[in-house]
Amino acid sequence: MATVLTSENVHDAWSALTEEVRTAVLLTMRNGRPFGSHVPYVFGSDWTRAYLHLSRLALHTQHLLADQQMSLFIAEPDGPEKNPLALRRLNLQGEAVILSRDAPSYDAIKERYLGRFPQAEMMFGFGDFALWELRLDDAHFVLGFGQAFLSTAAASTRWIHQKVERLSSEKG
């Protein structure tokens, strides 16, 4: 018998994935096409805010300066004993903005980032680096076969099974 997952179970699962996997693929737009970059990240209090420490010299940063729309993709590492089609994965969409050093949350986010990536401390002193806040609106989280869930920033703690969402949109 299949286990019915609650929003709390799904929340625990995305939290576990993002604690386990420290880097993501940041997708930005380059000449109207998606461009992927590997980036370290930290989350805020939930999935609706993530933070990156990016150099202005990097192509992905140049893309974000031109177009703030982005996606962040986090996936469980593959291995020979795993089914690659059943790997846990999280796809988030939203926009990115530079977090001002004057923002009330800046010091706490910097501390959280350095707690996870202490080797980045030196780069906080470089003038071309800045903290970016990803303001995420939509989430698609796959826990395995038949276990795909959707959420929105408006109801970030509510995870709806993709099949249920698809059926309700087909009726409407």
pLDDT of residue 165: 57
How far apart CA 60 and CA 24 sit, in angstroms, is: 13
In CATH terms, the fold of domain 7-171 is Pnp Oxidase; Chain A (2.30.110)
Q: Provide the b/e sequence for 19-35 (b: ≥16 CB within 10 Å).
A: eebeebebbbbeeeeee
Which structure tokens are listed for 78?
Answer: 């593959």
Return d(Cα 163, Cα 161) in angstroms, integer.
5
CB 134 within 8 Å of CB 50 = yes
Q: Tell me what pLDDT residue 169 has.
A: 54
Could you read off the pLDDT tens digit of each residue along the chain, which spans 172 residues? 355 678 899 999 999 999 999 999 999 999 999 999 999 999 999 999 999 999 999 999 999 999 999 999 999 999 999 999 999 999 999 999 999 999 999 999 999 999 999 999 999 999 999 999 999 999 999 998 889 999 999 999 999 998 765 545 555 5
Dihedral angle, C-alpha 97, 99, 104, 108, nearest 10 °: 120
pLDDT of residue 1: 39
Q: What predicted TM-score, i.e. pTM, was given to this entire model?
A: 0.90
pLDDT for 7: 87
Closest by Cα among 77, 68, 88 to 27: 68
Q: List, in sequence order, every beta strand (DSSP E) within 8-159.
A: 23-30, 33-40, 42-43, 49-55, 69-75, 89-98, 129-144, 147-152
The pLDDT of residue 146 is 86
> At residue 91, what is the residue type?
N
Domain range list for the chain: 7-171
